[in-house]
């Protein structure tokens, strides 16, 4: 009788332990899953001397990733613009936001192709990995565009990804559909996620093609191509949106931040274009940003913003509209 009671007791204790372990294991898994499955809001922040001051203006509660743009090698191969990265990373991490250094950019140095091969490539990769490790960054973002997506791009990305992953760092990219044939599937497969630059269909470089540079239809077309033609998983894609506009005709400014557009014309918040100085400025107002965010929620795993310092404040903020739309059920 005593023996049976002991058996029952031990069995009960064992079962309880198993249940506790099982529950705690499920809790850990769920917690990790909820973090990993956060809808991404990636905001680019221009790299400058007062980087920390600029970062302190960012509403970290409304983003998941901060990208510092840009950090590139000089002609001798030494990375420039690396000051204040560690302090900025500490600020981002204190707000549960990941931080990346972005290389390249639309105005990347013309000598860049020479850094994608041979000894210069090896040095650049080593320096980028060290940059991420020494400054507590979460990884490196590759925003090489146009002619820089050359025959050496794939091998550069493969080698950089391997080196970063050895240090448990992320590698991401910004891509534009206009360069779609230059990206190989193997290169794209290296990235943890891919941010689609769904803007700049036209601009000051195409004065003969005035009109919206980032219409909603472009977002639909871009997502359709990368999801259905190139078969990139939705979990790896984000939709890029612009916080700026381009002007055509008259003496309209070639480029204007959303913030400056509203300073001149506060009522432009619900439009995508406005007359200015005998010309027209095209941008994305609140309704279009909301609609694009809804599209991203449906089709992919996040939105990407170029760039955070161009936003307005308060109820007219595009980032606020993105955040509100994400939190809607």
Query: What's the confidence (pLDDT) of residue 7?
Result: 42
Domain extent listing, the chain: 1-31, 39-243+284-327
Q: Which residues pair with 281 in a beta bridge?
A: 247, 274
Query: What's the confidence (pLDDT) of residue 1?
Result: 40
CATH of domain 39-243+284-327: 3.20.20.80
Query: What's the confidence (pLDDT) of residue 65?
Result: 98
Q: What is the mean pLDDT of each run of 10 residues along the chain (329 residues)?
A: 39 40 36 59 96 97 98 96 97 98 96 96 98 98 97 98 98 98 98 98 96 98 98 98 97 96 93 95 98 98 98 97 94
Query: What's the confidence (pLDDT) of residue 108?
Result: 95
Nearest Cα neighbor of 300 from 225, 243, 244 is 225
Residue 271, sorted as left (phi over 0), alpha (psi -120 to 50) or beta, turns out to be beta
314's tokens: 């308060």
185's tokens: 């599937």
Query: What's the confidence (pLDDT) of residue 35?
Result: 40
**Alpha carbons 293 and 13: distance in angstroms, whole number:** 51
- What is the tens place of the pLDDT at every residue in 207-254? 999 999 999 999 999 999 999 999 999 999 999 999 999 999 999 999
Query: What's the confidence (pLDDT) of residue 22?
Result: 39
Query: What's the confidence (pLDDT) of residue 37?
Result: 72
Per DSSP, 177 falls in state: G
**Alpha carbons 156 and 150: distance in angstroms, whole number:** 10
- What is the tens place of the pLDDT at every residue in 152-196? 999 999 999 999 999 999 999 999 999 999 999 999 999 999 999
């Amino acid at each position: 009788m005593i023996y049976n009671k002991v058996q029952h007791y031990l069995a009960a204790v064992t079962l309880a332990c198993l249940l506790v372990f099982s529950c705690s294991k499920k809790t850990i898994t769920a917690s990790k899953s909820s973090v990993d499955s956060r809808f991404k809001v990636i905001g680019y922040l221009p790299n400058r001397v007062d980087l920390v001051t600029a970062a302190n203006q960012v509403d970290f509660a409304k983003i998941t990733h901060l990208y510092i743009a840009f950090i590139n090698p000089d002609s001798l191969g030494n990375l420039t613009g690396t000051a204040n990265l560690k302090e900025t990373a500490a600020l981002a991490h204190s707000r549960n936001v990941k931080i990346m250094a972005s290389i390249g950019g639309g105005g990347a140095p013309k000598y860049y192709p020479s850094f994608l091969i041979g000894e210069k490539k090896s040095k650049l990769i080593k320096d980028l990995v060290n940059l991420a490790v020494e400054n507590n960054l979460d990884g490196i973002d590759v925003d090489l565009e146009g002619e820089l997506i050359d025959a050496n791009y794939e091998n550069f990305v493969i080698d950089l990804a391997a080196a970063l992953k050895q240090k448990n760092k992320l590698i991401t990219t910004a891509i534009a559909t206009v360069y779609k044939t230059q990206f190989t599937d193997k290169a794209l497969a290296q990235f943890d996620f891919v941010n689609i630059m769904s803007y700049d269909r036209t601009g000051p470089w195409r004065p003969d093609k005035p009109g919206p540079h980032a219409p909603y239809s472009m977002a639909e077309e871009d997502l359709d191509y990368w999801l259905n033609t190139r078969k990139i998983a939705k979990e790896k894609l984000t939709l890029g949106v612009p916080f700026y506009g381009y002007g055509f005709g008259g003496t309209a400014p070639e480029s204007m931040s959303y913030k400056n557009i509203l300073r001149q014309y506060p009522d432009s918040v619900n439009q995508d274009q406005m007359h200015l100085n005998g010309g027209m400025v095209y941008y994305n107002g609140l309704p279009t940003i909301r609609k694009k965010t809804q599209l991203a929620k449906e089709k992919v795993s996040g939105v990407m913003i170029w760039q955070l310092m161009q936003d307005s404040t308060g109820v007219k903020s595009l980032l606020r509209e993105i955040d509100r739309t994400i939190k809607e059920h």
